[in-house]
Structure formats: C-alpha cells, structure tokens
Amino acid sequence: MTNHQEPLDKVLQNIKDRWNLTPDKIESINFIFWLTCHCELTLKYTIKYLYLHKLKLVDNAKNLESFLFYPLDEMHLLGLSSIFKKNIDELTKNLPETIQVSDIKKGFKKILAYINELNRLRNNIAHYRFEKLEWKHDSIFNKETQFNMIDQWNNILTEIPKDVLVDNTKHK
C-alpha cells in the first residue's frame, strides 16, 4: 500500500496485522455489522408503525409524530428492544381485528431473541473477541452459517403479520 491510503484501508490493515485477520474474516465481521443494521431498522420502523397506529386514535397526531420519532431514531438496538418489551401490550391495543395480537407478541419475542444474539456478536467484535464469534455453536466465519443466519431472520419475519411488519427497504 502507498502512503496515500484511504482512512478505512489504513485502519483495516492495522486490524488485520494486529489480530491476524484474513480478508474473509474481515468480510464476515462486516456481514455481522450490516445484518445488525438491517435488523435494527426493521425493529425501529415496525415500532414506528405501531406508534403511528396509536397516534391515529389521538387528535392532532401529526404534530406528535416528529416529537415521538426523534428519540426512536436516536436510540440504539437494545434501547429499541427495551421499548418494545416494555410497551408491547400498550402498542398492540386497538389494532385492526384482522391482526392477531398473540402472533405479534410471539413473533417479536423471536425477533428480540435474535437481535440479542446479534448484539452479543457485535459486542464481541467491538472488544476483539473474535474467537467467540459463533452463531448456535457454528463459526460466523463459515459462509453457510451466515446464510443460515439470514434464513433464520427471514423465517422469523414470516411469523409477524404483514400489516405490522414494516419493510425497511422502503424507508430512508
């Protein structure tokens, strides 16, 4: 590499050298990061959907949206999980009759368990515990494990009623 390295290249090279990480391992670590981002957005936008439904029942709701959503946008993954766990009963009141609240609760329990496991992996990465990067006893450095993680996430999402689950690819 030249002296004119890009900042990310320089940092990655230092990490590779210090921790003896191969390009495949760096790619696997990136996979965890981006999967976590995707799952976090899904949870965030779904909580927003539930809040919006509640706001429809309140006069002057449009004025409350930006006030309510700012903290959600600033919140980290475990904060979002905590909000959902603490407010699931309130958030699922008065939903359309076509939506089974028990399905939402069951599905979101699985989402939260999945997200907690992702957060564990993210913490291990942040603290350089690369030897602990396993998903259900399989190394995340194995491509098959990564595909299994994606399949598990997609299977969990099929358990949430479509009216409630928000596709975060349609949002900013």
Asked whether residue 68 is assigned to any structural domain, the reply reads: yes
Output the CA–CA distances (angstroms, integers) from residue 61 to 54, 65, 135, in the order listed. Answer: 9, 7, 42
Asked whether residue 10 is assigned to any structural domain, the reply reads: no
Asked whether residue 14 is assigned to any structural domain, the reply reads: no
* pTM to 2 decimal places: 0.73
Residue 114 CB neighbour total at 10 angstroms: 19
Asked whether residue 5 is assigned to any structural domain, the reply reads: no
Torsion of CA 56, 59, 63, 65, to 10 degrees: -20
- Tell me, rounded to whole angstroms, the distance of Cα 46 from its chain centroid: 11
> Coil, helix or strand for 75?
coil
Q: Domain residues for 46? A: 23-170
- What pLDDT is attached to residue 41? 82
- What pLDDT is attached to residue 171? 41
- What pLDDT is attached to residue 49? 73
- What pLDDT is attached to residue 163? 64
Residue 79 to residue 86: CA distance in whole angstroms: 11
Per-residue pLDDT of the chain (172 residues; tens, 9 = 90+): 455 668 888 888 888 888 888 889 999 999 999 999 888 888 877 777 777 666 665 555 555 566 566 666 666 667 777 777 776 777 677 666 766 667 777 777 888 889 889 989 999 999 989 888 999 999 999 999 999 999 999 998 887 766 666 554 444 4
Residues in Cβ contact with 99 at an 8 Å cutoff, skipping those fewer than 6 apart:
161, 163, 164
Asked whether residue 4 is assigned to any structural domain, the reply reads: no
Asked whether residue 3 is assigned to any structural domain, the reply reads: no
Q: What is 108-163 written as a DSSP string? A: HHHHHHHHHHHHHHHHHHHTT-GGG-EETTEETTSHHHHHHHHHHHHHHHTTS-TT
Asked whether residue 27 is assigned to any structural domain, the reply reads: yes
Asked whether residue 81 is assigned to any structural domain, the reply reads: yes
In sequence order, the β-bridge partners of residue 139 are 134
- What pLDDT is attached to residue 169? 45
Count structural domains, the chain. 1
One-letter-per-residue 3-state SS of 92-105: CCCCCCCCCHHHHH
